[in-house]
Structure 1
Amino acid sequence: MTRAAIEAYYAAFNAGDASGMLACVSDDIEHRVNEGGIRRGRALFADFCAHMGVSYAEQLRDMVIFVNEDGTRGAAEFVVHGSYLQTDPGLPEAKGQTYILPAGAFFDLRDGKIARVTTFYNLADWLRQVS
């Protein structure tokens, strides 16, 4: 079930289906963002998904998913193929720049839902690619 939840989450991500992503997470989802704060709860996670949908167009490729034996933890490694569409405050101006960025995520799962996702990527590498 752990692998299926993570696969469904990323299938929805690649389809640009924010509601599909939300269906995979718990009401009290904890979203830890690379070099950022922690978003707690489905509403803040939905806001993040909406923002990402207008600022970036991304596809995750070369996905490898790892899970522990009891189904409570998981991880994924992948390569982000993206376009920077709309300027994010505090970041370089968006002009449709493309980027390819290795990334990964760690998950806690509870009752078949993702209760925590922590995402990591090299921000300096991304900045070099879009600057």
Structure 2
Amino acid sequence: MDAKAVITAYYDAFNRGDTDAMLDLMTDDVAHHVNEGKVRRGKALFAEFNAHMTDSYREKLTDIVVFGNADGTRAAAEFTVNGTYLKTDPGLPEAHGQTYVLPAGAFFTLKGGRIDRVTTYYNLADWVAQVSA
């Protein structure tokens, strides 16, 4: 599977809420660079992060565009996050079902056809403004 196909499958799994399918596309020691957070290493920490996100947010990604280099080792994606804030995340505004629409992107490194690094970016100040309005 080429880089674009791997990343497309990753986001298809995300939109289905299928963490196991996302994990199947990753190396065991995947580095997850969280927006505004610490790097999490390994599938277990990625699964823990996804469980927390699923508990606090309901999100669907649209307008997904995936880019990949010729040798299949690097990829990027740009997309729109359409979400609902379900449960207050510590240090963030109080949740009461606010909706948000947020442009976002991610960068990937792949090894052996699997995701070895994912770095996610979105504008946190934009998100805070939307859920605080």
| TM-score (norm: length of structure 2) | 0.97
Unaligned runs of 5+ in 1: none
The aligned counterpart of 2:66 is: 65
The aligned counterpart of 2:94 is: 93
The aligned counterpart of 1:111 is: 112
d(CA) in 2 for partners of 1:125, 1:47: 25
d(CA) in 1 for partners of 2:89, 2:24: 26
CA offsets, 1:62-92, max 9 Å, x none?
A: 0000101111000000000000001111111
The aligned counterpart of 1:128 is: 129
Give identity over the alignment, percent. Answer: 65
d(CA) in 1 for partners of 2:21, 2:95: 27
d(CA) in 1 for partners of 2:93, 2:49: 19
Alignment of 1:19-30 (within 5 A): 19-30=20-31
d(CA) in 2 for partners of 1:24, 1:93: 34
The aligned counterpart of 1:75 is: 76
d(CA) in 2 for partners of 1:24, 1:48: 16
Give how far 1:53 is off: 0.9
Q: Secondary structure at the match of 1:63?
A: strand
The aligned counterpart of 1:7 is: 8
d(CA) in 1 for partners of 2:25, 2:94: 32
Alignment of 1:30-41 (within 5 A): 30-41=31-42
Amino acid at match of 1:22: L
Unaligned runs of 5+ in 2: none
d(CA) in 1 for partners of 2:58, 2:24: 21
Q: Secondary structure at the match of 1:69?
A: coil
CA offsets, 1:88-112, max 9 Å, x none?
A: 1111111010000000000000111
Structure 1 stretches of at least 4 aligned residues deviating more than 2 Å after TM superposition? none
d(CA) in 2 for partners of 1:54, 1:120: 20
Q: Secondary structure at the match of 2:75?
A: strand
Aligned length: 131
Give how far 1:41 is off: 0.6
Give how far 1:4 is off: 1.1
